[in-house]
Amino acid sequence: MRYVVGYAAHERGRDALNLGVALARATGAVLEVVVVLRAHDQYSSAPRDNFGILLEDQAKQWLTAAAELLPEDVEFELRMHRSVNAPAGLMEVAATSGAAAIVVGGSSETPWLRHGVGSAGGALLHRSRIPVILAPRGYEPAPLTEIACAVSPEPESRGLLEEAIATLNRTGLPVRLICLAEGGRGEAARAREAVEGMVAASAVEPEDPERLRVVVGHGRSVAEAVESVEWGEGTVLMAGSSRLARRGELFLSSTTAKILTRLPIPLVVVPRDYHPGRGGSADQPWTGELPIVGRS
Amino acid sequence: MGSSQDRPGGGSRVPIHTSTSPVVRKVGGSSVVIGVDSGAGAAPHSGPDAVPSAKGLSVGTIGLLGAAVIGVSTIAPAYTLSGALGPTVSVVGFHLPAIFLVGFIPMLLVALGYRELNNAMPDSGTTFTWVSKAFGPWIGWMGGWGLLAATILVLSNLAGIAVDFFYLLISQIAGNPGIAELARNVPVNVGTCLVFMAGACWISYRGLQETKRFQFSLVGFQLAVLIAFAVTGLVRAANGSAFDGQMPQLEWFNPAGIDSFSAFSAGVSLSVFIYWGWDTVLTMNEETKNPEKTPGRAAIVVIGVVVVLYLLVACGTLAFAGIGDGELGMTNASIQENIFAALATPVLGPLGVLMSIAVLMSSIASLQSTMISPARTMLAMGHYRALPASFSRIHPRFQTPSYATVASTVIAAVFYAVMRFISEDVLWDTIAALGLMVCYYYGLTALACAWYFRRDAFRSVRGFLARFAAPLLGGVLLLVFFVRTTIDSFDPSYGSGSSLFGIGLVFYLGAGMILLGLVVMLVISRRLPAFFREGIDLRSEPAPG
């Protein structure tokens, strides 16, 4: 399995690289570190002076410097890819090399706590066909110890909830189903009841029910509810796509966008109807086929 | 998978794979793997259908029409004519069409050499790199300086023309002539100009590019408006409704009728400016559908279109306005530096607003694309350590020469502001100086071509002509015109008649720029002696191109 890491020689690019390292250590994935070179528009009247070759030279230096940042225990490849823009380039590389997920950093220009969706991330989050993993600002590699999954107490969350349980079975990592309720304790209790009911009715059963927990955060807004939940350093949060998404594609839901404003940990957004390896799907799970039990 | 088993630090380099999107044709070749570990891991492309996400963004190759459109757009005929018609008429009078025909010859000769150099040594530094390789680092640096000076001059002129037309357009739309006068208010003018430059800088810094649709509509619109303007001018001259009606005569096309060599030389250096940028078509080989034939044919189409258009507009303008110095006469100093601003409404009536839109769009589009040129030259000079290393910085996100872009904008903005306060007729003088500067650095580049190919130029007739004889002749001609016009510009009445301490302002902008370059070069050679000691060839790093 491999991850495509969208790299650029700045802090947000290094966040993506660090997150790629943490995930690769847990899953044994190969990192494909990609610098996307923007193709010169043929019709622009910029001078025809081989600036592209100079840019390639620079990109090689950036990639060589990125290789220096990567630790010994992670397998990686370096690639420059020329495309119309960064998100298109990353999706092309991912499609060609059969990557299981795309890892990107955020934007610096954002008032949010740790995350920010830049233009590349924004496009990926509304078009990718494979999971997109967002690194928070200033992310430092931490061993992966737990996977959280944001579910709502609505029936359409069932697919994602089942995928969370499948992830537990695949990886052996503890999984927390996180439900964020807007309102007081009463709301929270009702939400818990609903989610627990969905777990009981799930078509996928946890092999180790001990490792599956349901946590309900509540507050006056989604953002407050996010803050009421404890986020461990080794946790990543998995979220589904909006109902607006086309089948098999990503589309960031408004709730997930609200979660991002306060979330301190990496976020994995999976496409709509994401059930890799189940129900006839040939997709690769973003956690890989390897069980990662015991790596915590 | 797993092609990268060898690790950094273990003595072996990590291979870097390169690939190109199936919808973007990479200039100059297909996917390659760079590094020691060739072959493995470079996954094959599975065709355009594999990437649904990028559909509709296809960037194909360019055909003849597209290449011709790009060529015309780099010349920006609406802007160029508006700035250059007046100053040229003031030196050659009715022989304007003749000088437009003659001025093209040295340009063609030099462009041939330009193409040969670009094929032999493609490089972002163009003139700087080529002249350095032919004549050593000192002359090479001065060649690069000439290119930088010319582009900085044109940036300030472009922005100035854009400001005039911006207020003219608003006044035409609002029906209030007073607004157009705002462009004469120096603080307002400088302030607006700085805003335009900052905008163009921002666009270049972010790496935003014109699209096919934009180029086609801009060029089509400019051509339509200019033809309408010229034809209406001729019709008005014929039916007597012109300001100073003159019917075109054959004598207008006779270069021998120009009074003096000084006038001839000044005229040629101005017409070099109006064709400036045309040669860009010749260097777009790999972007075109048929690299063998398209660029050459496109160059011919462009030059055909441009020469016919220039002659038509020259005749139309002369026929309508004459060369008197009356209210709308072409030698009236107050309208000369931006002639279409004064003539658009008298000629086209209420449709004059279209001319304002055409020139404004053409100069703003040109402002943005011209800004890229000095930035890339500075980048290349920084790369070869002929300028401080910060100039070679490439922005990791926007992938543009960020530092050099900001630097060239700041220099052009300061230059414009200072000039605007010194001289009323700054646009005129910058155009005159610009012609000089283009003569200087094109001439130098052409001589570099002849010198660089001096040994293998005699192997074939074609090689001899394109690599040696044509550039040598073109280079010598341009440098002769440069020297002659520089000497003439010493006269305080030269150009717009602005002078400083009894010496014509154009002299400061031409010869003064070169002297300033010598001083800067001496300072830089103290700080960065390696480049001036070793030049380009001896650097360990391969040329970026």
With CA atoms as reference, the chain B residue closest to A129 would be B53
The yes-or-no verdict on residue B59 having pLDDT over 80 is no
Q: Looking at residue B407, what is its pLDDT?
A: 92
From the CA of A29, how many Å to the nearest CA of chain B?
10
Q: Report CB contact under 8 Å: B4, A75.
A: yes
Where do the domains of chain B lie, and which CATH numbers do they carry? 1-43 (no CATH), 64-534 (1.20.1740.10)
Q: Looking at residue B37, what is its pLDDT?
A: 28
With CA atoms as reference, the chain A residue closest to B124 would be A49
Interface test mutation site (partner A, options B12, B13, B19, B377, max chain A beta carbons within 10 A)? B19
Given pLDDT bands bounded at 50, 70 and 90, which one contains residue B312? very high
Q: Report CB contact under 8 Å: B379, A2.
A: no
Cα angle value A42/B355/B326 (rounded, 5°):
135
Distance in angstroms (rounded) separating the CA atoms of residues A106 and A139: 11
More confident residue, A162 or B6: A162
The yes-or-no verdict on residue B519 having pLDDT over 90 is yes
Mean pLDDT value of segment B255-263? 81
Location of structure tokens 């805003």: B195
Q: Over the stretch B360-383, which tens digit does the pLDDT of each residue have?
A: 888 888 888 888 888 888 988 888
Mean pLDDT value of segment B142-156? 89
Structure tokens at A115: 């995350």
Of residues A197, A204, A145, the one with CA closest to residue A176: A145
Q: Looking at residue B537, what is its pLDDT?
A: 61
Q: Over the stretch B208-217, which tens digit does the pLDDT of each residue have?
A: 877 788 888 8
Name the least confident of A285-294, B9-18, B355-364. B9-18
Who's near A3: CB < 8 A, 6+ residues apart?
Answer: A20, A23, A24, A29, A30, A31, A32, A99, A100, A101, A102, A103, A133
A62 in reach of chain B (CB within 8 A): yes
Cβ-based contacts of B44 with chain A (< 8 Å)? 96
Asked if B76 and B226 count as a contact pair (C-beta separation under 8 A), the reply is no
Q: Looking at residue A42, what is its pLDDT?
A: 76
Name the least confident of A236-240, B25-29, B56-60. B25-29
Location of structure tokens 């603080």: B187
From the CA of A62, how many Å to the nearest CA of chain B?
9
Amino acid at B84: A
Distance in angstroms (rounded) separating the CA atoms of residues A140 and B495: 64
Q: Report CB contact under 8 Å: A82, B383.
A: no
- Looking only at the bridges linking them, the beta strands covering A175-182 and A212-219 are parallel
Where do the domains of chain A lie, and which CATH numbers do they carry? 2-134 (3.40.50.620), 146-269 (3.40.50.620)
Cβ-based contacts of B405 with chain A (< 8 Å)? none
From the CA of A101, how many Å to the nearest CA of chain B?
15
Mean pLDDT value of segment B84-109? 86
Cβ-based contacts of A79 with chain B (< 8 Å)? 16-19
For chain A, helix, strand, coil in percent to 5 are 35, 20, 45
From the CA of B200, how many Å to the nearest CA of chain A?
13
A 32-51 residues with CB below 8 A of B?
37-51
Cα angle value B522/B525/B528 (rounded, 5°):
150
